[in-house]
Amino acid sequence: MEFQNVKFEKREGVAWITLNRPEKRNPINIDTHRELRECFDLVDYDDEIRCAVIRGAGGNFSAGGDLNAMKQRIDNGVRGTRKVCRVGAETNLRLLNVKKPVIAWVEGAITGAGIALALSCDFQIVSETSKCAFSFVNIGFVPDSGAAMLVTRAVGTTRAKDLFMSGRFFSGREAADWGMFTEAVPADELEERVMKYVRKYSSGPAVSYAGIKTMLNRAQFTEWADLMQAEIDAQGECELTEDYAEAVTAFLEKRKPQFKGR
């Protein structure tokens, strides 16, 4: 099936979903979210598909939100952040509820909404040298796409506050050591390790896997709807600040933003 932002392929019982805008490091915008949800439906409703892999084209997983789209909204005086925030959370909830095992193949850069997408997969196999960051705060935003719940569940409140409020970079190795990602391996071993997971989970007890996912989702993510609304409200408030407009503009102009706190 042909998409604009995503590539979908089915090979030998495995769905391969590739974020496919490598020239921009695979940003995730509202159209990408819609295409991803179509891919997740294809995975769920095709009995020949036993597991899925999500990766990014061109050596990077995803740089997260589409700052060019944000700048367009700023320049045109359009308030679109609440809508994008809602769609991002819905996409990741849909991914969490895919009945088949889903593996994130993570290399290169992965930030913001890209990390939230990977964390919504069942397994994250990451290059130990991948550069990771929750860069929401760097543009005057709060975490969205369910990141607050996904990360806090994985690493705890103390670590989550550090990562979200500092916006600092950390490595794939560090993330795996903290329990955020399943496993970190040297870059030259990444494909081999991903394929090990693919072979295991494409040939295992599919009904059991679906049941395990359902139980864990009910145990961990029943409050998702409340979180989603909190994200939308907070992000909508952030969108109105001078700091947000300044930070997005500064990023695209490759300079340091001058925050005013308003």
CA 62 to chain centre: 8
Of 82, 98, 95, 96, the closest CA to residue 144 belongs to 82
Distance CA 227, CA 147 (A): 10
Distance CA 116, CA 256 (A): 25
Structure tokens at 46: 């095709």
Distance CA 245, CA 123 (A): 35
Distance CA 169, CA 182 (A): 19
The set of residues, in sequence order, having a beta carbon less than 8 Å from that of 237 and lying 6+ positions away, is: none
Q: Is the pLDDT of residue 79 over 90?
A: no
Distance CA 231, CA 225 (A): 10
Distance CA 79, CA 173 (A): 37
Give the mean pLDDT of 255-261.
92
Distance CA 39, CA 17 (A): 7
What pLDDT is recorded for position 158?
Answer: 97
What pLDDT is recorded for position 4?
Answer: 93
Give the mean pLDDT of 102-116.
97
pTM of the predicted protein model: 0.94
Give the mean pLDDT of 92-108.
97
**Which is it for strands 6-11 and 14-19: parallel, antiparallel or unpaired?**
antiparallel
Distance CA 61, CA 126 (A): 10
> Mean pLDDT highest for which of 66-70, 123-127, 215-219?
123-127
Q: Specify whether the CB–CB gap between 92 and 117 falls below 8 A.
A: yes
Distance CA 94, CA 42 (A): 12
* Tens digits of residue pLDDT in 177-224: 999 999 999 999 999 999 999 999 999 999 999 999 999 999 999 998
Q: Rounded to whole angstroms, what are the CA distances from 95 to 54, 91, 135, 198, 248?
A: 11, 6, 22, 17, 28
Distance CA 120, CA 238 (A): 25
* Tens digits of residue pLDDT in 146-165: 999 999 999 999 999 999 99
Q: Is the pLDDT of residue 1 over 80?
A: no
